[in-house]
A and B are shown apart, each in its own frame.
Chain A
């Protein structure tokens, strides 16, 4: 009798071949190590990983980090003045945001989270636009939809979700679409350590691995998901190691070393562009501020820890490097910060003068065309404003 079993059928009841073991041993080292170009004192520790950038571009990278720091502090100030509903401080994470966005191409898409001001600036969003958004002026590009998030199709920045991590599968899907359409587009998703616990993280990375999607996942491990420390998020020794189970490489990098982030993300973007699939980058950083302006970190973490984390702070460290290389002196760096502060102060003054969004703004952008019931509600809404006026009621404080 002729056998129907093809020679090609190879059932896996045996250990995987040694080359798989070898490949994964290498990947394991990348996922458990820590890539760095400069140390806390700005000294070069890995010449091989140093990105090939001219001094002018190094300087530009620093300037983006300064701008991120400056606008962050203004948003904090405006929140305290009661002008901004809520702000999620970025302080301490500027290197990851800038180092991730800088090597991206304009056609690449970014799916950010809510602590990536540096990335928006790199992709062309201005301080004025950030302020229009935060203050919900007439020019708010997201038209008063939600707080603490930014985005604009103009720069291929998809508005971030407030529910943590739900952008991850979207990034994979956009990358799959780019691949199907044959576009030279890589998608970058940025999220935090907390997001790695979500089902979305699993689905997003799993699909990306299976379909070799051109996507780079940048997990900003800032040690805290509000009050929950990393050890409560995972029992694994690193987040990068999670990538291995999805069949994709995971790289652990010092997220406060902008040069290292730049280098690692560049490599991941190139891999994706070559059609070699996704990468998970774990950027080890530290959230120096509260989770948001509504948080009180004194309840759950020590000041001592924050003080120690300050030593790893990304701006100071890069400044020391630039100074030692004769690219930018400490004095010039300080001057740069002062200039941006003055510039942003002027922008703040101007933006504060702008009118707010029209009262009926929320009736727009629900559908392409409003269904009848929403039209009826819109009419009722307009009548209710008249009733309020007749009664002399101040509906908004």
Chain B
């Protein structure tokens, strides 16, 4: 089994799906000869040609709008947004067409489309190369929202996303693109949407997170364990819309304490939904208040990004507050 990073795993997923299904096409800025600015589509143009690996003019509105039309007609496009921060030009297309075409056509048209791109901070990218904007899409019925944290999941989730008959927003935390390597099977496997992964088992507190924050959470959990002997259960949601409530509830049945950590901003962030759902329906499982750790409600700064995003100190502080309540 090859040991690969997330970029390579995503490339494997695209290559395998394009071989398996001739309807799968890739389009976006610089996805052809350049292989994408992060090389996720590297080499695809050599194997599948310009008809299926399409370097587009520079417009996210065009890329997404055209991909929706392709999907309606019978292709299964994977549209790359070079940095997810640039997706807003395509917002009308994503909400009114990609997400709602099935509904507004009374089910006559489906949109089997993946919109994928690098997200999130940690590379000193400033406000337009660092955003975690999953909450905007989580507020849109008709979409799936996915964010893998490791190569194995990236491959399986992308393959599944390509096969799903609805539009998927597929967010790739670029800070772990090349930092994590693991064994990824060359076989055809998928990871189901809507299923979380238990990263680390624990009995005292449940920490729900996703994307690159999984690694920050692990470090904070280690400190909490060493310093206080607390055992932290970490859940990587992997899919945010719909999120795996069963995984969270089963964990809370053991721990009774919940900390949610995400790189998206706090206000009306993804954690608000999870927190509200648990508080509304499972308050009896809780021994104390839920705590969220998120990026601050300011634009993403170029300087001091590690202080802006949830860091080990902030996650540890939240664990303390929940445990000592």
Does A207 interact with chain B (Cβ within 8 Å)? no
How many residues of A are in contact with the other chain, CB < 8 A?
A: 53
Does A214 interact with chain B (Cβ within 8 Å)? no
Q: Encode contact with A along B284-295: 1 for CB under 8 Å, 0 otherwise.
A: 000000000000
Given contacts A145-B299, A147-B125, A228-B29, contact A359 B307 (CB under 8 A): yes
How many residues of B are in contact with the other chain, CB < 8 A?
A: 44
Does B89 interact with chain A (Cβ within 8 Å)? yes
Contact of A163 (CB < 8 Å), options: B56, B124, B128, B267: B128
The residues in B between 250 and 277 inclusive whose CB is less than 8 angstroms from any CB of A are 266-267
Does A293 interact with chain B (Cβ within 8 Å)? no
- Inter-subunit contact B302/A391 (CB<8 Å): no
- Inter-subunit contact B29/A225 (CB<8 Å): yes
Does B218 interact with chain A (Cβ within 8 Å)? no
Binding site for A on B (CB under 8 A): 29-30, 32-35, 37, 55-59, 61-62, 85-86, 88-89, 124-129, 223, 266-267, 296-299, 301-304, 306-308, 311-314, 316-317
Partner-binding segment picked from A10-18, A59-67, A361-369: A361-369
- Inter-subunit contact A395/B58 (CB<8 Å): no
Chain A nearest CB, measured from B129 CB (Å):
7
Q: 10 new A-B pairs (CB below 8 Å) besides A145-B127, A145-B302, A388-B311? A: A145-B299, A147-B125, A163-B86, A227-B30, A228-B56, A373-B267, A384-B313, A385-B313, A391-B223, A393-B311
Does A71 interact with chain B (Cβ within 8 Å)? no
Given contacts A145-B299, A232-B56, A384-B314, contact A162 B129 (CB under 8 A): yes
Binding site for B on A (CB under 8 A): 85-86, 136, 144-147, 161-166, 194-195, 197-200, 225-228, 232-234, 294-295, 299-300, 356-357, 359, 361-363, 366, 373-374, 377-378, 380-381, 383-385, 387-388, 391, 393, 395-397
- Inter-subunit contact B30/A396 (CB<8 Å): no
Chain B nearest CB, measured from A115 CB (Å):
15
> Which of A166, A233, A361, A381 has the most C-beta atoms of chain B within 10 angstroms of its own C-beta?
A361
- Inter-subunit contact A362/B57 (CB<8 Å): no
- Inter-subunit contact A197/B303 (CB<8 Å): no
- Inter-subunit contact B223/A197 (CB<8 Å): no
Contact of B303 (CB < 8 Å), options: A162, A357, A388, A393: A357
Contacts of A363 in B (CB 8 A): 296, 298
Given contacts A197-B62, A374-B296, A395-B307, contact A228 B126 (CB under 8 A): no
CA distance A85 to B303 in the complex (A): 10
CA distance A358 to B295 in the complex (A): 18
